[in-house]
């Protein structure tokens, strides 16, 4: 059965059928329901190859993209990706999302959910009027934030673990990244790794990094019992000194958040510690990798690309509203060698996660 035949049975135009199959807000619920019943009755199926062809035609037709995706901010400011005091990965996510959307024939329109001059209901009306059915989110400051009820009619893909609402997500593969780093340390002969983690960020990754560190300490590093040193945005020098003297780690693992790097550098200078001669140093889950530090770099750009791909896929499949079963895509980080660790002695022992 063709779209034209389906339109004849439904008593509408072929264009209306096409829009209804994409769950376009311009088509009434009654019309969508009637077309859906006919689709099921007559076994109509969209040809994926035709969808690919039409998307390619739209992409290369010239001029600006006519379809739009919304990019929403749940932060206290309208454009957190442009705020230099914010973590740099937000800007990288924003750039990669816009790039991928343009490649797929979409433009990106930005909206501030917490705009004090606009209620969520008004924002939802604006989105509907502009024909925007899909929203990209960069997450929120607080893990417990919820997506406003008025926006839950749209297809939404968010980034990271924040926002409690059940949404499709793309995020960093924390267990892979932690395993990759710890295997690298083991392969270089380190036996006493110590971890300095930011307490707030540890919560944002569901304590996966801490869990992997404790697992390796017990089963790979022969029952090592060095407690994790938790800190805020910076590491207290006195606390760090006491922890270091007590536990004598031979390599430090830190996460690239807040001012931890600056705190550690000040500690090394004060104690005249040479890296890597006296102590190894490795960064875990670096969103903005400091130059010259070995460790794992997050695939931030790939997260942005994947978020757009996931959103477009959901839209093409006619999805709307919150998902019954949310899809989560994890992006693996990559190892960066920068000379702050010993050379590899033996190949890494692959530990299943």
Nearest to 338 by CA among 278, 275, 288, 250: 275
Angle at 86 between CA 84 and CA 92, to 5 degrees: 80
CA 230 to chain centre: 24
Can you give the residue ranges of every domain in the chain? Answer: 1-41, 67-165+301-331, 174-298
CA distance 313 to 170: 14
- In tens, the pLDDT along 255-311 reads 866 688 889 999 999 999 999 999 999 998 766 556 689 999 889 999 999 999 999
pLDDT at 58: 54
- In tens, the pLDDT along 230-247 reads 998 889 999 999 999 999
Contact present, 143 and 203 (Cβ < 8 Å)? yes
Fold classification of 67-165+301-331 is: Rossmann fold (3.40.50)
- In tens, the pLDDT along 167-219 reads 999 999 999 999 999 999 999 999 999 999 988 888 778 889 999 999 999 99
Higher per-residue confidence, 163 vs 30? 163
pTM of model > 0.85: no
Tokens of 2: 């063709």
User: How would residue 346 be classed by pLDDT, with cut points 50, 70 and 90?
Assistant: confident
In sign, the C-alpha dihedral spanning 180, 335, 87, 104 is negative
Q: Does the domain made of 174-298 have the CATH classification 3.40.50.720? A: no
Contact present, 168 and 328 (Cβ < 8 Å)? yes
Contacts with 196 (C-beta within 8 Å, 6 or more apart), sequence order: 228, 229, 231, 235, 240, 252, 253, 254, 255, 260, 264
Contact present, 157 and 306 (Cβ < 8 Å)? no
- In tens, the pLDDT along 317-342 reads 889 899 999 999 999 999 999 899 99
- In tens, the pLDDT along 99-125 reads 999 998 899 999 999 999 999 999 999
pLDDT at 318: 85
* Range of lowest pLDDT (4-13, 165-174, 217-226, 243-252): 4-13
- Here the contacts of 115-119 (C-beta below 8 Å, separation 24 or greater) are 115/78, 119/150
Higher per-residue confidence, 291 vs 75? 75
pLDDT at 349: 58
Q: Do domains 67-165+301-331 and 174-298 have the same CATH topology?
A: yes
């Amino acid at each position: 059965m063709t779209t034209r035949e389906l339109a004849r049975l439904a008593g509408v135009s072929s264009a209306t059928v096409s829009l209804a199959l994409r769950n376009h807000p311009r088509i009434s619920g009654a019309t969508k329901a009637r077309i859906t019943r006919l689709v099921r009755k007559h076994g109509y199926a969209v040809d994926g190859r035709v969808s690919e062809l039409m998307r390619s035609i739209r992409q290369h037709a010239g001029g600006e993209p006519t379809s739009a995706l919304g990019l929403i901010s749940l932060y206290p400011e309208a454009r957190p990706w442009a705020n230099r005091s914010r973590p740099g990965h937000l800007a990288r996510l924003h750039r990669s999302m816009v790039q991928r959307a343009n490649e797929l024939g979409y433009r990106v329109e930005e909206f501030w959910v917490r705009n004090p001059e606009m209620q969520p209901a008004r924002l939802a009306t604006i989105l509907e009027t502009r024909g925007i059915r899909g929203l990209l989110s960069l997450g929120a400051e607080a893990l417990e934030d919820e997506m406003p009820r008025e926006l839950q009619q749209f297809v939404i893909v968010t980034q990271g673990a924040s926002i409690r609402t059940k949404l499709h997500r793309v995020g960093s593969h924390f267990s892979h990244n932690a395993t990759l780093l710890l295997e690298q340390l083991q392969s270089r002969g380190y036996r006493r790794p110590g971890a300095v983690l930011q307490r707030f960020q540890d919560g944002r990754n569901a304590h996966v990094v801490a869990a992997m560190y404790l697992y390796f300490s017990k089963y790979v590093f022969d029952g090592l019992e060095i407690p994790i040193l938790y800190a805020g945005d910076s590491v207290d020098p006195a606390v760090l000194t006491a922890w270091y003297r007590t536990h004598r780690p031979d390599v430090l693992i830190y996460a690239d958040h807040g001012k931890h790097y600056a705190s550690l550098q000040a500690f090394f200078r004060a104690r005249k510690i040479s890296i890597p001669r006296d102590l190894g140093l490795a960064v875990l889950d670096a969103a903005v990798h400091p130059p010259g530090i070995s460790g794992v770099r997050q695939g931030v750009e790939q997260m942005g690309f994947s978020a757009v791909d996931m959103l477009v896929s959901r839209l093409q499949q006619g999805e709307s509203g919150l998902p019954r079963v949310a899809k989560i895509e994890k992006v693996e980080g990559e190892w960066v060698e920068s000379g702050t660790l010993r050379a590899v002695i033996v190949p890494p022992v692959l530990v299943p996660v």
